[in-house]
C-alpha cells in the first residue's frame, strides 16, 4: 500500500507539473503596435523619419538618387552599355527594373506618409506645434512623391490614406486631379512651415513652395486639363514667393563639397537635400565614383557632346555663334559651368581615393596610352599608364565607352574618398526656383524685369553676362535661354529627365546616335601615343548645326551630320517612340492590380 501511495503521488506530481497556466501563450511582440502609436511628438518624429528614409530611391547603380540617374536617360548623357538601355529606348519596357523601382520607391513614401498622417489624426488636437509641423512635412513628402509619379507615369493610383484591401484593384486617377491635390497640400504646408528648417534635412516652406512651382510648371508645360496657363500662373506665384527668402551661394562650386555645404550661403541655396553622413553606420553615395576616370574610379555613365555643346561661350553666345569658340580647345572661353561640370581631354584631374587629402592628380590625355601623373611622395610628375586607354577595363572607360567627357560635378570634393562621398546631394536649389519662376513667366509671356533679374542672378554668379538685349521682350528667345540655363545649371540634379518630356523634345534630343570627341587617327608607332588627330586636328567646320529647324534651334539640339565620320559615336540604334513621353506602368503592378490600364503603346 505504501508503495502504491508512493507511485500514485509521483504520478500526481507529474500531472500537476504539466498543467500549464493559460497565459503561457500570451507572447507580446517587441515591435510597437501601430494602433495608437502616433500620439506623441517623439512617436510622430520617429514615424516622420520612417517617411524620410524612403527618399533615397537608389537603383541598380546603387547609392545614387534615382532622379539623378534619370538624367542619364536623356540626350545629354548615356549609360555605359549601348542601345538597349532605358535611355536608348530599347530597355524601356514594363518589366524593366528601373520602371518598378521608381514606382515602388515613391509609393513607399506615400504609404508611410499616409500611415503617419492618418494615424496621428485622432490625436491632432492634443499635439504640440512641433508634432503638427512634422505631420505637415509628411504631407510635403507625400506631395513630392506624387509629383514624381505623375511626371513619369502620368495617371496613377491615388490614395491619401493607408490603402485597404478593397482598394487593391483601384484604377488610375487623373494626373490633373493628383496635381491639384499636390498643389493644395503644399499650400497647406507652406502656411505653417518656417522658411528655413532649423534642423537640416527637414522640408520647409521654401521647399513646399519651390516644389509647388516645380509641379505646377509640369501641369503648365503639358497643359494638364487644358488649364496650362493657370498652372504657369501658379508656378510663377509660388516661385516668386520664395524669391528673396533664400539666396544663391556666392561660390557655385561650394554646393557640392563637404566644406562648401557647411557655409551659410550654401545652406540658403540648398532648399532640399538628400542627407548623407560619415557618422555612425554612415550614409554615403557614389555620385562621383561611378562617373569618373578609370585612373581612380569607374565610369558607368557618360555625358554627351550635346551637353558640352550646350554651354555658351563666356560672351553669352552659343558656340555656333560665338567668335570665341575654339574647335581645337572646346573648353576654352566657355561658360564657367562647362569646366565645373565636365572634365575632358587636357584637363588636370585631382581626386582623393582614400583618406582626406588628394592623392591622385593627373593630366587627362584621352588618347594617350600614358598620362602624366603627379607623384605625391616624390612631388614630381611622372608618366604612367593611362587606365582609360590601356588597362583591362579600358573598354568601359570614359574614353572608350563614353564620349570624351567625365562628369566633374559631384567629383570635386577632395576632402573624402571619391567612392564614399557624404556631402549632401541637392534635391532642390534656389537656382532652380529662380529659373522656374522665369520659365513660368516666359510661358505666360509676362516678360518683366523680374524675369531677367531671376535669370541674371543665376548667370552672374558664375560670371556669365546678363540676358542679352536682343532677347529682351522676345518670348521665344527667352524660352530658348531659360531652357538652356536649366540644362547647364541643373544637369544631373534630377530635373532634365522631366524637362525633356515637359518640353516634348525627346524626339529630337533623345533620338539617333549620339556623338562625342573627334576620333584620333595617327599614332606614334613606338609609344602608341597620338601624334595628330583628335582635338588637334579638329577643323573649323566641326561646329555642329543648331539650326536644323526652329525646334532644334529653340532647344539647342545640335546636328553633327556633316562631320559625323570624324566623331566618336554611341548608341547608333537609339530611338524615340512617342510612348516614351510616359514610362509604362510596371509589369508587376499590372499583374497585381487588374484595375490598371497600361500606358498607351506599351
Partner 1 sequence: MKKIVEQVCSFYYGHRKKLLIMRNAVLIILISAFQVLATGSYSQTAQLNLKLKDATIKEVLTEIENQSEFYFLYNSELIDVTRKVDISVKGEKVNDILSRLFSDNEVNISISDRHIVLTPVTEKSGQQQNSISGKVTDTNNQPLPGVTVVVKGTTTGTVTNPDGNYTLSNIPNDATLQFSFVGMKAQEILVGSQTSINVSMVEDAIGIDEVIAVGYGTQKKVNVTGSVQSISSDALLKRNVPNASSALQGMAAGVSVVQTSGSPGAAGTVITIRGRGSLNSSSSPLILIDGVEGNMDKIDMNTIETVSILKDAASASIYGSKASNGVILITTKRAKAGDVKISYSGFVGMNTATELPVPVSALGYMEQVNIAKVNSKQAPQYSQETIDQFKASGPDNMTTFDTDWKNLVMKDNALSHNHSVSLSGGSDKVRFFANGGYYYQDGMIANNDYNRKTLRINTDADVTKWMKVGVDVNIGQSTTVRPIETAESIINKAITFVPVFSGLNDDGTFGYGQNGDNPYATATAGGTYNTVIPQLGVKGFIEINPLKGWVTTASYSSNSLETREDYFRKPYDTYEGGVFKVTNPTSGAEKRESNARLISNQFNFQSYFEKTVDGNYFKVLGGIQSEERLGHSMFAMRKGYYYDGFEELDHGDITTVSNGGTSYEYAMLSYFGRINYNYKERYLLELNGRWDKSSRFMKDYQLGFFPSASVGWRISEEAFFEPLKNVIGNLKMRGSYGTLGNQDLRGDYYPYAATLSSGYGYWFDKVQGTGVAQTSSANEKISWEKSTQMDIGLDASMFSNKLGITFDYYTRKIHDMLQQFPIPSFVGLGSPWENAGSMENKGWDLSLLWNDQIGNVKYHVTGALSDVKNKVTNLYGNEYISEKIVTEGESINSWYGYVAQGYFQDQAEIDASPVYGNKATVTPGYVKYEDITGPDGVPDGIINSLDRTIIGDATPRYEYSLDLGAEWNNFDFSLFLQGVGKRDIYYSGSGARPFYIGRTIFESQLDYWTPENPNAEFPILLIDGTGANPNNLPSTQWVKNGAYLRIKNVVLGYTLPKKVLNNYKLDNLRVYVSGQNLLTFSNAYAGYDPEQSVNGGSFYPLNRTLTVGLDIRF
Site for partner 1 contains 18 (CB under 8 A): yes
Site for partner 1 contains 277 (CB under 8 A): yes
* Nearest partner of 120 among 137, 96, 99, 100, judged by Cα: 137
Select 61 or 563, whichever has its Cβ closest to partner 1: 61
| SS3 assignment, position 550 | helix
| Shortest distance in whole angstroms from residue 203 CB to partner 1 | 11
177-195 residues labelled b (16+ CB within 10 A) or e (exposed): ebbbbbbebbeebbeebeb
Tell me the H-state helices in 305-448.
305-310, 336-341, 430-443
| Shortest distance in whole angstroms from residue 546 CB to partner 1 | 27
Binding test (CB under 8 A) with partner 1, winner from 128, 579, 592, 600: 592
Binding test (CB under 8 A) with partner 1, winner from 139, 212, 233, 276: 276
Site for partner 1 contains 90 (CB under 8 A): yes
| Shortest distance in whole angstroms from residue 85 CB to partner 1 | 7
Binding test (CB under 8 A) with partner 1, winner from 61, 82, 227, 333: 82
| SS3 assignment, position 27 | coil
Cα torsion angle, 436, 439, 443, 449, sign: positive
- C-alpha span between 253 and 423 (Å, rounded): 13
| Shortest distance in whole angstroms from residue 356 CB to partner 1 | 12
Residue with cell 574614353: 399
Q: Rule CB under 8 A: which of 566-585 touch partner 1?
A: 572-573, 575
CA distances 117 to 45, 138, 178, 356, Å, are 12, 7, 18, 42
Q: 144 is written with which cell numbers?
A: 513630392
Q: 549 is written with which cell numbers?
A: 529647324
- Angle among Cα 227, 230, 236 to the nearest 5 degrees reads 140
Site for partner 1 contains 50 (CB under 8 A): yes
| SS3 assignment, position 518 | strand
State how far Cα 31 lies from the chain centre.
Answer: 35
Site for partner 1 contains 103 (CB under 8 A): yes
Q: 43 is written with which cell numbers?
A: 512617436
β-bridge partners, 373: 362, 382
Query: Using CB under 8 A, which of the segments 15-23, 184-192, 503-511, 540-548 binds partner 1?
Result: 15-23
* 3 state SS for 134-164: HHHHHHHHHHHHHHHHHHHHCCECCCCCCCC
Q: Rule CB under 8 A: which of 393-422 touch partner 1?
A: 393, 395-396, 400, 417-420, 422
Binding test (CB under 8 A) with partner 1, winner from 40, 41, 61, 111: 111
| Shortest distance in whole angstroms from residue 345 CB to partner 1 | 19
Q: Rule CB under 8 A: which of 148-167 touch partner 1?
A: 156-157, 159, 163, 165
| Shortest distance in whole angstroms from residue 583 CB to partner 1 | 14
Compute how many other C-beta atoms are within 10 angstroms of the C-beta atom of residue 553. 17
Under a CB-based contact definition with an 8 Å cutoff, are residues 291 and 407 in contact? yes
Site for partner 1 contains 61 (CB under 8 A): no
Binding test (CB under 8 A) with partner 1, winner from 64, 96, 175, 479: 96
Select 52 or 325, whichever has its Cβ closest to partner 1: 52
Select 385 or 466, whichever has its Cβ closest to partner 1: 385
Select 73 or 452, whichever has its Cβ closest to partner 1: 73
Site for partner 1 contains 121 (CB under 8 A): no
Site for partner 1 contains 33 (CB under 8 A): yes
Binding test (CB under 8 A) with partner 1, winner from 160, 322, 390, 475: 390
Q: Rule CB under 8 A: which of 195-214 touch partner 1?
A: 199-202
Site for partner 1 contains 354 (CB under 8 A): yes
Amino acid at each position: 500500500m505504501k508503495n502504491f501511495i508512493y507511485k500514485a503521488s509521483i504520478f500526481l506530481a507529474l500531472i500537476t507539473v504539466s498543467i500549464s497556466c493559460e497565459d503561457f501563450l500570451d507572447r507580446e511582440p517587441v515591435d510597437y503596435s501601430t494602433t495608437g502609436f502616433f500620439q506623441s511628438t517623439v512617436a510622430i518624429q520617429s514615424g516622420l523619419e520612417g517617411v524620410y528614409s524612403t527618399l533615397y530611391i537608389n537603383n541598380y547603380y546603387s547609392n545614387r538618387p534615382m532622379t539623378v540617374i534619370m538624367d542619364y536617360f536623356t540626350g545629354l548623357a548615356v549609360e555605359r552599355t549601348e542601345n538597349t538601355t532605358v535611355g536608348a529606348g530599347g530597355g524601356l519596357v514594363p518589366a524593366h527594373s528601373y520602371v518598378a523601382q521608381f514606382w515602388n520607391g515613391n509609393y513607399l513614401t506615400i504609404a508611410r506618409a499616409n500611415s503617419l498622417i492618418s494615424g496621428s489624426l485622432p490625436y491632432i488636437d492634443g499635439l504640440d506645434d512641433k508634432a503638427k509641423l512634422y505631420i505637415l512635412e509628411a504631407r510635403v513628402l507625400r506631395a513630392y512623391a506624387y509629383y514624381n509619379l505623375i511626371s513619369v507615369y502620368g495617371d496613377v493610383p491615388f490614395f491619401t490614406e493607408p490603402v485597404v484591401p478593397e482598394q487593391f484593384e483601384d484604377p488610375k486617377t487623373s494626373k490633373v486631379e493628383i496635381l491639384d491635390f499636390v498643389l493644395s497640400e503644399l499650400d497647406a504646408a507652406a502656411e505653417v512651415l518656417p522658411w528655413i528648417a532649423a534642423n537640416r534635412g527637414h522640408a520647409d516652406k521654401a521647399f513646399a513652395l519651390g516644389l509647388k512651382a516645380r509641379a505646377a510648371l509640369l501641369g503648365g508645360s503639358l497643359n494638364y486639363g487644358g488649364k496650362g496657363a493657370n498652372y504657369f500662373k501658379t508656378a510663377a506665384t509660388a516661385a516668386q514667393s520664395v524669391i528673396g527668402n533664400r539666396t544663391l551661394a556666392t561660390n557655385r562650386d561650394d554646393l557640392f563639397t563637404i566644406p562648401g555645404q557647411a557655409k551659410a550661403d550654401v545652406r540658403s541655396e540648398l532648399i532640399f537635400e538628400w542627407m548623407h553622413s560619415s557618422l555612425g553606420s554612415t550614409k554615403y553615395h557614389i555620385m562621383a565614383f561611378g562617373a569618373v576616370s578609370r585612373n581612380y574610379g569607374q565610369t558607368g555613365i557618360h555625358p554627351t557632346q550635346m551637353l558640352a555643346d550646350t554651354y555658351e561661350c563666356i560672351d553669352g553666345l552659343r558656340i555656333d555663334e560665338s567668335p570665341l569658340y575654339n574647335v581645337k580647345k572646346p573648353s576654352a572661353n566657355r561658360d564657367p559651368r562647362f569646366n565645373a561640370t565636365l572634365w575632358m581631354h587636357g584637363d588636370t584631374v585631382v581626386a582623393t581615393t582614400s583618406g582626406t587629402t588628394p592623392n591622385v592628380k593627373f593630366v587627362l590625355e584621352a588618347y594617350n596610352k600614358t598620362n602624366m601623373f603627379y607623384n605625391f611622395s616624390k612631388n614630381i610628375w611622372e608618366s604612367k599608364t593611362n587606365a582609360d586607354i590601356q588597362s583591362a577595363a579600358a573598354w568601359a572607360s570614359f574614353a572608350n565607352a563614353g564620349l570624351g567627357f567625365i562628369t566633374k560635378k559631384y567629383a570635386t570634393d577632395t576632402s573624402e574618398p571619391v567612392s564614399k562621398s557624404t556631402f549632401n546631394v541637392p534635391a532642390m536649389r534656389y537656382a532652380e526656383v529662380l529659373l522656374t519662376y522665369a520659365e513660368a513667366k516666359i510661358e505666360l509671356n509676362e516678360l518683366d524685369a523680374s524675369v531677367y533679374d531671376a535669370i541674371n542672378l543665376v548667370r552672374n554668379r558664375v560670371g556669365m553676362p546678363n540676358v542679352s538685349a536682343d532677347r529682351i521682350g522676345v518670348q521665344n528667345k527667352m524660352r530658348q535661354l531659360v531652357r538652356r540655363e536649366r540644362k547647364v545649371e541643373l544637369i544631373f540634379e534630377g530635373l532634365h529627365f522631366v524637362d525633356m518630356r515637359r518640353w516634348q523634345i525627346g524626339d529630337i534630343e533623345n533620338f539617333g546616335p549620339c556623338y562625342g570627341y573627334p576620333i584620333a587617327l595617327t599614332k606614334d608607332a613606338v609609344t602608341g601615343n597620338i601624334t595628330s588627330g583628335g582635338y588637334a586636328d579638329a577643323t573649323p567646320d566641326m561646329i555642329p548645326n543648331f539650326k536644323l529647324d526652329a525646334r532644334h534651334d529653340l532647344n539647342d539640339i545640335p546636328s553633327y551630320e556633316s562631320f559625323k565620320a570624324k566623331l566618336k559615336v554611341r548608341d547608333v540604334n537609339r530611338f524615340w517612340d512617342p510612348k516614351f513621353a510616359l514610362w509604362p506602368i510596371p509589369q508587376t503592378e499590372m499583374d497585381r492590380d487588374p484595375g490598371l490600364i497600361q500606358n498607351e503603346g506599351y
